[in-house]
Structure 1
Amino acid sequence: MLIDTTLREGAQLFGAYFNIDTRKRIVAGLVALGIDEVELGWVGQEDLQELAEYGRSLNGNTKFSVWSPCREEDVITVSKLPVDRINIGVPVSDLHIEKRLGLDRAGLLKKLTKTVETAKNHGLRYVSIGLEDLSRADEAFALTVALLAKVSGASRIRLADSLGQLTPKATENLVQLFSSQINIDFAVHCHDDFGMATANAVTALGAGAKYVDVSVLGIGERSGISATEELIAYLSLNNENHPYSTEGLVDLCSFVSSAAGVTIARTKAVVGTDIFACESGLHAHALSKSPELFEPYNPELVGKTRKLAVGGKSGKSAVASALSDGEIAPLVKDFSERNLSALTQAVRKLSCELMRPLTKGELVELTLNSEK
């Protein structure tokens, strides 16, 4: 199950500012995708009441939550909002406990107990406790914090790799350790500092975690976290066991890209413009015969179209296939295959000069000239 935190973690991206209209559009897009939970922001943020009411007005089964630090007064503030859940952040590494909070371990445990009890007493039925900087914490103490959270009334524990330190194997071990000791729902929050966030999130689900945090395009602090579009595509198109919609992924990612000022690389998994583009001779020829040979899923499932072109990497088969294209074939119907080798060489030469694949118009012109 996916917790999208584009409006909390994602909004912490350096230089990203989302006004209320932008936030509403992101919420609507996420609900349309079938996201299980949307973290609307952090306590004290402007327009949370309006945003939560808007989310509830949408037709979907998405739950809405707000993040809060481990402070009783902030929890009380969240309790007045029309949200389903509260996500409370609790640092568990000694470095954060001492230098950030000015507490010792005993003080943290006391603070946690009072905060969770306050949340429950103020009508917050679903309390999630996020163990921040867990990958640098003492595991025994972190387990103590998690157990105390459950005993105090928490419904979920969020295991946070706050600095992206974990590998998939380490993530698996951590999830299995906690789930073997405490009977409660677990979520993971995986940062991407070493490029492993999505892999760690997928591994966590396989190891027994019920939830993973994601954000659109993976935006967030530093290099961000697991990407919403990657998890949705993997869970829906690879496993085909999850009911997430992939229909609006490209549009939502494009919108967030513009709003956050983050460029989408043309090779970006799931939503890049060129992920279904091919000019390599062997691959292009194979794709023209049977797309599943070199495509993990149908491009149309994520709003993409296949793009084949000839160029400096093309062989005779790829060029011949390109000439049979419905738009090109009528224009080169008199082409003789005797000249295919020469045409292929001409295609490669021109492509290398232009330093790009050829357009359909350029291929037609080159073909017609080769016949003269």
Structure 2
Amino acid sequence: MLIDTTLREGAQLFGAYFTLDTREAIIAGLLDLGVEEIELGWVGQEGLETLVRTMRKRAGATRLSVWSPCREADVRAAAGLPVDCVNIGVPVSDAHMEKRLGMDRQAVLERITSTVLAARLMDVSAVSVGLEDVSRSDLGFALTAALTAAEAGASRVRLSDSLGILTPVRMQALIDLFRPALDIDLAVHCHDDFGMATANAVTALDAGADYADASVLGIGERSGIAATEELAAHLCLNGNNSPCRPYRTDGLRALCRFVSKAAGVPIPRTKSIAGDDIFACESGLHAHALSKSPDLFEPYDPARIGAGRRIAVGGKSGRGAVVNALADFNLHCPDTAIPNLVNTVRQRAWELRRPLTRTEFARLTEGCRDSEKNRQS
């Protein structure tokens, strides 16, 4: 299941400033997608209380949560908000505990206990404890911290690969350590510094984690985190998942475009799920196969994510692709002239350094008619 944190982790992206209207629009897209939980922001964030109270009326079955440092005063502020969960963050690596908090291991365990207990006494519905920098921690101590949180009343532990240094193999080992030891929910927060975030999140869910954090386009600190659109599509559209999650993915690309504009993050044309050209094809072999059976080279129907298929002829096209283009555009070229047409198409595309438009292709077929006239005369 997904915890979307576009409005907390994503809002920490360098240079990103989301207005209240923008935040509400992003939430509307996430509610339409059907993510299980939305982390609306952090304690003390401008406009958070207004946003929470507005969205509480619209959230339906989607859980709302906010993030708080592991301090009683901040948890108290969070407790006054109508949310379903307060996500507390606390570092568990020695470097972070000593340099950030000036605390030793025992003091951190005591802080976890006192803060979680305080939250429960304040009638916070659910408390999630995020173990920051767990990938550089002493895992024995990190597990002790998780068990301490559970004993104090936490309902979820969230493992944060804060520097994105885990690989899927190491993530599998991490979940194999924590999952059997905990009888509460387990979540992961995977950063993308080495391009592993989505893969690590998928691995964690496959290995038994209950939740994975994600943000639209993966935006967040530094390289960001696992991407909501990638995880949602994988969990919903990947035929190997049984059962698939019931996400409504047809609006994913529109949500990505909105966040792209709001955050000032361009979408590469080949970006999975969100890119303009992910279902565009010019290669002769692939284009020919797509004309016979799209599922040979497409993992899912483009319409499932609100996209369309685009096949063009160009410098990489062969006879099959050209013949299919003729049929698609209701154009005619005699069989004897097709080899010359294929060569002409390739040559023109290389001159333009791009595939041909429909109009350009149609003009080239005029040579076919000339060729037929010459042959008949």
Q: What is the alpha-carbon distance in structure 1 between the residues aligned to residue 272 and residue 193 of structure 2?
A: 17
3-state SS, counterpart of residue 64 of structure 1: strand
3-state SS, counterpart of residue 68 of structure 2: strand
Q: 2:337 aligns with which of 336, 339, 347?
A: 339
Instruction: Give the alignment's Cα RMSD to 1 decimal.
Output: 0.9
Judge which range, 177-186 or 258-267, deviates more: 177-186
Q: Aligned letter for 1:336?
A: P
Query: In structure 2, what is the equivalent of residue 84 of structure 1?
Result: 84
Judge which range, 47-56 or 25-34, deviates more: 47-56
Q: What is the alpha-carbon distance in structure 1 between the residues aligned to residue 60 and residue 339 of structure 2?
A: 58
Q: Aligned letter for 2:39?
A: E
The yes-or-no answer on 1:129 pairing with 2:129 is: yes
Q: 2:256 aligns with which of 247, 253, 258?
A: 253
Q: What is the alpha-carbon distance in structure 2 between the residues aligned to residue 90 and residue 342 of structure 1?
A: 68
Q: What is the alpha-carbon distance in structure 1 between the residues aligned to residue 236 and residue 110 of structure 2?
A: 42
Deviations 1:294-319 (A, max 9, x none): 10000011011100000000001110
Query: In structure 2, what is the equivalent of residue 307 of structure 1?
Result: 310
**Displacement, 1:112?**
1.2
Deviations 1:166-193 (A, max 9, x none): 0001001101101122222100000011
Q: Aligned letter for 2:284?
A: G
Q: 2:363 aligns with which of 354, 362, 365?
A: 365
Query: In structure 2, what is the equivalent of residue 171 of structure 1?
Result: 171
Q: Aligned letter for 2:147?
A: L
Partners of 1:186 and 1:211 within 8 A in 2: yes
Deviations 1:101-126 (A, max 9, x none): 11111111111111111101111020
3-state SS, counterpart of residue 237 of structure 2: helix
3-state SS, counterpart of residue 87 of structure 1: strand
**Displacement, 1:59?**
5.5
Q: What is the alpha-carbon distance in structure 2 between the residues aligned to residue 312 and residue 25 of structure 1?
A: 42
Query: In structure 1, what is the equivalent of residue 233 of structure 2?
Result: 233
Q: Aligned letter for 2:249?
A: T
Structure 1 unaligned segments of length 5 or more: list them: none
Identity across aligned pairs (percent)? Answer: 61
Using the size of structure 2 for normalisation, the TM-score is 0.96
Q: What is the alpha-carbon distance in structure 2 between the residues aligned to residue 110 and residue 290 of structure 1?
A: 61
Query: In structure 2, what is the equivalent of residue 279 of structure 1?
Result: 282
Q: Aligned letter for 1:114?
A: S
Deviations 1:115-160 (A, max 9, x none): 1111011110200000000000001111111111011110000000
Partners of 1:191 and 1:223 within 8 A in 2: yes
The yes-or-no answer on 1:351 pairing with 2:349 is: yes
Structure 2 unaligned segments of length 5 or more: list them: 371-377
Q: What is the alpha-carbon distance in structure 2 between the residues aligned to residue 42 and residue 181 of structure 1?
A: 29
* 1:217-228 alignment runs, 5 A limit: 217-228=217-228
3-state SS, counterpart of residue 371 of structure 1: helix
Q: What is the alpha-carbon distance in structure 1 between the residues aligned to residue 108 and residue 245 of structure 2?
A: 38
Q: What is the alpha-carbon distance in structure 2 between the residues aligned to residue 23 and residue 107 of structure 1?
A: 37
Count of aligned pairs between the two proteins = 367
**Displacement, 1:47?**
1.5
Partners of 1:187 and 1:212 within 8 A in 2: yes
List, as ranges, runs of 4+ consecutive aligned residues in structure 1 with deviation greater than 3 Å: none
3-state SS, counterpart of residue 272 of structure 1: coil
Partners of 2:334 and 2:368 within 8 A in 1: no
Partners of 1:28 and 1:55 within 8 A in 2: no
